[in-house]
Amino acid sequence: MLIETFLRTKGEVMMMREIFAEDRKEDHKVWKLTYPLAITIILSMVNPLTEALETQQEWLFMTSHYLLAISGFLLTYKLIKGKELLIIPAAAIAIVWHLPYFYAMAGSMTLFRIMCDVSMVAAGMLIGISTSSMSTLKWLVLFVLWMI
């Protein structure tokens, strides 16, 4: 009886290893595509030319917020899986930087802009970590709320 249990468990372990190996291969394919895209987005938004234009063009400053959060999401989605509750600190970071005082500080001072850019990427990473384990319905609801 004990031997049968061991063999069944060992067989299940081997089967699970194969499934996880296939999942990792798929995740690696996705990551190979999204990682360079995320780095390209970050570099296009965080450079002296874009930073100089952000002080003059508010739409560019807001667009960089979205793109930096998306790039953080692309860096971690499907690569790191975590608890859904990580969405709360991610939302808090995004909300803080969109309060008028902090938004104005980030738009006018380089130190605050650096902190804003880094934290927006971090918020995107937290979103990617938390949404990789969410159901499709929850994911869509959060996406719609983000777009509002």
Both tokens of 106, joined, read 């980030």
Looking at residue 27, what is its pLDDT?
59
**What Å distances lie between residue 90 and 7, 12, 73, 129, CA to CA?**
44, 37, 11, 10
Measured CA to CA, the distance from residue 52 to residue 95 in angstroms comes to 24
3-class SS at 102? helix
Measured CA to CA, the distance from residue 145 to residue 88 in angstroms comes to 13
**What is the residue-level pLDDT of the chain in tens, covering all 148 positions?**
444 444 455 555 555 555 555 555 565 666 677 888 899 999 999 988 888 888 888 899 999 989 999 999 999 887 888 888 888 999 999 999 989 999 999 988 889 999 999 999 999 999 989 887 778 888 788 778 877 7
Contact 79, 35 (CB under 8 A): no
Looking at residue 15, what is its pLDDT?
56
Tokens 């650096």 identify what position?
114
